[in-house]
Copies of this chain bind each other. A is one copy, B any other.
Amino acid sequence: MVVGLDQYLEQVRDVLRPGTRVLSSGLGAEEARARAAVAEAAAGRAVALIGSGDAGVYAMASPALEYADERIDVVGVPGVTAALAAGALLGAPLGHDHAYLSLSDLHTPWDVIERRVTAAAEGDFVTLFYNPRSRARDWQLGKALGILATHRSPDTPVGVVRNASRPGERVHLATLATLDPAIVDMYSVVVVGSSDTRLVAGRMVTPRGYRWRS
């Protein structure tokens, strides 16, 4: 059987064999979906818990494995997470050290998030924001960019990719000084360069070394 978010199940429905049982649920039901997948596996069924991107990155692998015990065999299938799809579209922003941060304070209090943004700024990591902004969370991205701006030049390149590898894919390049957070939504990933990241021929590039070659 196949368990997943309704919109992802729509994307694979044509490759399912006739008779495959499908358990679909809507956004926000992650816990229930993980529990259901594990319960079905514990009952002896072969279960595919599906997602988009990589199931291990801010996704369903964690809640499922919190519930799974030794009786269940689990095979993780890695995928292309949004940051890698976005990186390939922007150029090579992830060529050197980088940090992934979720700006969702649904599960994490803001002071923990702010401490992490500050650490990413102090470490001069290229910084990736997942869940950067939604209608209900409209100030966190601006605040996070403000923290990075105290450690990096206003000219630091920032890339925003919406719907990476999906219909409606859109790439936007700006800088820490010029990015308007209002163009960012929950379908976007935001990539802020380190102090070494440059625009080269319109592409965002972080060199492998810490300094540009002469």
Contact = CB atoms under 8 A, between A and B. Distances in A.
Q: This chain: how many copies in the complex?
A: 2
Interface residues of A, number: 67
B61 A92 contact: yes
A62 B203 contact: no
B209 A107 contact: yes
A63 interface: yes
A79 interface: yes
A42 to B, nearest CB: 12
A181 interface: no
Nearest to A80: B78
Interface string A62-77: 1111101110101011
Contact of A56 (B30, B66, B94): B94
Interface stretch (A1-9, A19-27, A95-103): A95-103
Nearest to A95: B62
With most chain B CB atoms within 10 A of its CB, the pick from A91, A109, A165 is: A91
A47 interface: no
A206 interface: yes
A58 B203 contact: no
A77 B85 CA distance: 8
A101 B92 contact: no
A54 B78 CA distance: 12
Given A200-B68, A213-B66, A116 B94 contact: no
Interface in A147-180: 165
A102 B123 CA distance: 13
Interface in A37-62: 54-59, 61-62
In the complex, the 7 A-B pairs of residues with the closest C-beta atoms, listed nearest first? A119-B123, A62-B95, A76-B88, A107-B209, A61-B92, A78-B84, A78-B88
